Chain A
Amino acid sequence: MIRFTHVSKTYPNGVTALRDVSFQIAKGEFVFLTGHSGSGKSTILSLIFADQKPNVGEVRVSGFPVGKLTATQIPRLRRKLGVVFQDFRLLPQRTIEENVAFALEVTGAPRKGIPGKVMRVLTRVGLAGKARVYPKELSGGEQQRVAIARALVNDPPVFLADEPTGNLDERATRGIFQLLQEINAGGAVVVMATHNLALVRDTSYRVLELKSGGLVYDSVLERSGSASPEQE
């Protein structure tokens, strides 16, 4: 589903974010990306959703070669992905249902089916009763649920979450994490970048740990005790 092969990424300002990173994520996996700030977690996610291109190596996501995508191909890849961020990135001038419907509208989905799909996904994240309110009227946890609903509405096979609980309290964090587990249980790949080691320790999901742009730990390899990442 996702494959990084000897990927290095250096930004135009000279900062090297990733050094020779290789790993592979299979269908249905839930993967934690951990590491300190600046270790390269967000760069890995932005390479997956083609916000960045690798300088060296190859990134393939759902069959798309990210480094070679043209401007017209990028939207096609992104429609197969759901992405949420720590800062929610909701449109403050639109209601909750408009924020979610927006993700369907921009992909040219038939107008008739949009309200039904929006309500279904809002019900799934527990916000059906707040469809007509604006983001500023919601708590942080609820806003993140809206962001998740927006990311989910196109039924993406890959779901990326960049520090989705970074701005939330313990209770809201648990709620969001449970939602991500449900998404994974539905068959989607979930890649979650996080600082929250408590969440990581409490589960047996795969962990990829980054340090200064290098992949220093992969729990799957650790368990099997052999095999290079590409052979997985």
Chain B
Amino acid sequence: MPTPLQEALRTFRRTPLLSALSVASIGFSLFTIGLFGLVAINFREALRTVAERVEVVAFVLRGTPTETILAASRDIEAFPEVQEVRYVSADEALSRARTELVEFKEAFRDLETNPLPASLEVRLKEEFRTAPSAQAVAERLQAFTFVDDVRFGRDWVQRLDRLRNIAAIVGLAIGLAFAAVAMVIIGVTIRITVLQRATEISIMRLVGATNRYIRGPFILEGLFKGALGGLLAIGMCWITMLVFQGTAREIGAGLVFFGGFELMVILLFGVAIGLLGTVMSVGRHLRHV
């Protein structure tokens, strides 16, 4: 008696075209989700890079002793939101301006006194790179007596927050829609496979096969197809990323691919869809014949 596993493999051999088509349909459906996921993680990565620039700058009053500033910077570093505090002396600020603002090179060279103040550049931890956190840190910095002014680019940080929120909502909605479409396509494909074998199922029942026996090979088949579809989707996502990698490099951005966890999720999603679609489809068929 062939095991359900042997029976499932036999089906692959007996109906290679239909099997290939269902693997392809699962693969392509998961590919659309994967592609969307790839866009989403790259967009998230891009936002993260932009968010790295979120920092709060406290300009220091002239004449403040360096020791006072350094002591305060240690206190600031202890703030829960703060990742790093960097002291930029007035001289360093000037030399940085000379390098970065090349168009004012001449103006900076002729200066008799340094007009730029010293400052403390406060970088925030990743989870605190939002407008409310930056605002809270800015207010606490302002409380230091040697601090003249505090800046953190409120407008663009707020815009970044909005963009992140919109991206999360749109991402979730599109992701769910793609997943729903994929489920429908995969469900239809599996149903076709079951219908194609309706005669076989009816004969199995006629000779006294239990529903459990009938379901076994179908379930394994669904599992295989789901896993193969998942691998196909990962392969296609990889190729797509390679195709666009060159273009991305030209504009100075690098693309990131899924990590091990995300790859596992795609594969398991394929297996789950293959399994669930088969169980539902075969179960429905067995109830109605």
Contacts and interface: CB of A to CB of B under 8 A. Distances in A.
B259 interface: no
B206 A83 contact: yes
B1 interface: yes
Given A71-B211, A89-B199, A91-B199, A105 B1 contact: yes
Main secondary structure of the interface of B (DSSP, over half): helix
Q: Which of A75, A81, A154 has the most CB of B within 10 A?
A: A75
A106 B199 contact: no
Interface residues of B, number: 17
B205 interface: yes
Interface in A97-132: 102-111, 114
Interface in B171-192: none
Contacts of B109: none
A136 interface: no
A228 to B, nearest CB: 33
A150 interface: yes
Which of B2, B210, B213 has its CB near the most chain A CB atoms (within 10 A)?
Answer: B210
A108 B14 contact: no
Contact of A106 (B14, B202, B208): B208
A105 B2 contact: yes
B1 A111 contact: yes
Given A91-B199, A111-B1, A106 B209 contact: yes
Interface of B: 1-2, 14, 199-200, 202-211, 213-214
Given A91-B203, A107-B209, 12 more contacts: A75-B205, A75-B209, A78-B206, A78-B207, A79-B208, A83-B206, A89-B202, A103-B207, A105-B2, A106-B209, A108-B1, A110-B1
Interface of A: 49, 71-72, 74-79, 81, 83, 89, 91, 93, 102-111, 114, 150-151, 154
24 contacts: A49-B206, A75-B210, A76-B208, A77-B208, A78-B207, A79-B207, A79-B208, A81-B208, A89-B206, A91-B199, A91-B203, A102-B204, A103-B207, A103-B208, A105-B2, A106-B204, A106-B208, A106-B209, A106-B214, A108-B213, A150-B207, A151-B207, A154-B207, A154-B208
